[in-house]
Amino acid sequence: MTVLQAALLVLVALGGSAVVLVRDPLRQAIVAGIFGLLLALLFFAFQAPDVALSQIVVGSVALPLMIVLTLAKLARLRGSDE
Amino acid sequence: MRTRKVLFLPAAAVFGFLFVWGLSGLPAFGDYRGPYGIVLAQVAVSERHATEVVGATTFDYRGFDTMGEEYILFAAVLGLVILLRQLREEREDEEEQQSDYDQRLEASDTLRVLGIGLVGPLILLGIYVVAHGHVTPGGGFQGGVILAAALMVVYLAGRYLAMKRVRPVPLVELAESGGAAGFVLVGVGGMIAGSAFLYNFLPLGEPGTLLSAGMIPLLNISVGLEVTAAFVLLISEFLDQQFVKGRDET
């Protein structure tokens, strides 16, 4: 295992914990996006560029965007109730 | 709280023991024991003229699996579209949407300039990744999500209505079903050529060039179409929800 691979494994472990430990959903979406990018780097370091390519877009763009949109919709629904 | 701890600690201890025990029995790092990967890495270039062995495996040797995966995405997006369209009251008043939108979500100039600059390169990169799926890492799925990301950038640049214009929904739906059907049709082509479903029946060409590896580029293109359209539909259904009042509100 190279230093890069080991460092990325530690970073991914820290990133995953960070996603769980952040309590505010909006911030959690952003942290999840950064975690997705870390995972993509990990896949790349472990010689899986195919997986890394899709992970970049799905993990760091599509997933956070969908979470943020859902949060926006929920905030709007709540706002109209009051 | 105390009951929770009493339950948690023994369970965690048992799990921890089993986890460490299991880890100690794993093969060493990088010690690969499956024969198939080694065989495929040796034969893919000479047999299929595809320099990207992962692509040759997913679209040729295990093409049937990939077809199943493509239809998982197809069914998932179809389900989502049905769910969200039932939930919303159709409101096609675009002027109202636009004014609503202008007030709440105006993008900054920086974001807009960056977004406009990114759209073209993203589309080019997406097409490149789809077209070279059999030569270099990439392929239909990866290129498809990049192409769909280009559309998300249009939205982030602040033009919800511009985005509505560049994604005519009937066309996107046609592309999605066309991509899904294309995969099966290429597979049937193998049967027409007198062999099995998904048999690579096209001329293999020169390894490492754009027109090589027989049917693999065609399968990449159909998956690329399907994935682009699926993600575009997914994101636009979510976005439409932002601008359509729910039943409770009206």
Structural domain contains residue B81: yes
Nearest residue on chain B to A67, alpha-carbon basis: B238
Tens-place pLDDT, residues B85-129: 766 555 544 445 555 555 455 667 787 888 888 888 999 999 998
Sort out which chain A residues have CB atoms less than 8 A from B232's CB and list them.
Answer: none
Q: Is the pLDDT of residue B15 over 50?
A: yes
Q: Distance, in angstroms, between B206 CA and closest chain A CA?
A: 22
Q: Is residue B250 part of a domain?
A: no
Q: Which residue, among B238, B152, B116, has the nearest Cα to A61 in the 3D structure?
A: B152
For the record, the structure tokens of B229 come out as 């359209």
Say if B153 falls within a structural domain. yes
| pLDDT for A11 | 94
For residue B29, the enclosing domain spans 2-243
Q: Is B242–A73 a contact, with Cβ atoms under 8 angstroms apart?
A: yes
Nearest CA in chain B to A6: B29
* Burial bucket for residue B216 (CB in 10 Å: 0-12, 13-18, 19+): buried
Helix H segments across chain B?
A: 2-24, 35-48, 53-56, 63-87, 94-104, 109-131, 140-156, 160-166, 169-192, 216-243
Question: Which residue matches tokens 């299929």?
Answer: B48
Over the stretch A11-54, which tens digit does the pLDDT of each residue have? Answer: 999 999 999 999 888 899 999 999 999 999 999 998 888 889 88
Transcribe B61-122 into DSSP letters.
ITHHHHHHHHHHHHHHHHHHHHHHHHHB-----HHHHHHHHHHH-PPPHHHHHHHHHHHHHH
User: Which of residues B244 and B235 earns the better pLDDT score?
Assistant: B235
* Pairwise CA distance, residues B137 & B51, whole Å: 9
Does the residue B164 lie in any domain?
yes
Distance from CA of A56 to the nearest CA of B (A): 9
Q: What are the residue boundaries of the structural domains of chain A, listed by start?
A: 3-81
Give the closest of A50, A57, A77 to B149, CB-based: A57
Domain assignment present for B248: no
Instruction: Classify the C-alpha dihedral B193-B138-B27-B25 as positive or negative.
Output: negative
Q: Per CB distance under 8 Å, which residues of A are interface residues toward B? A: 1, 49-50, 53-54, 57-58, 61-62, 65-66, 69-70, 72-73, 76-77, 80-81
Q: Note whether A73 contacts B139, CB cutoff 8 Å.
A: no
| Chain B residues in contact with A61 (beta carbon < 8 A) | 149, 152
Long-range CB contacts (< 8 A, 24+ apart) of A73-80? A73/B241, A73/B242, A76/B242, A77/B246, A77/B248, A77/B249, A80/B248, A80/B249
Q: Which residues contact B19 (CB under 8 A, 6 or more apart)?
A: none
> Which pLDDT value is given to residue B107?
66
In chain A, residues with a C-beta closer than 8 Å to the C-beta of B246 are 77
Q: What residues of A are in contact with residue B235 (Cβ under 8 Å)?
A: 62, 65-66
Which of A66-75, B103-112, B128-137 has the weakest average pLDDT? B103-112
Query: What amino acid occupies position B98?
Result: Q
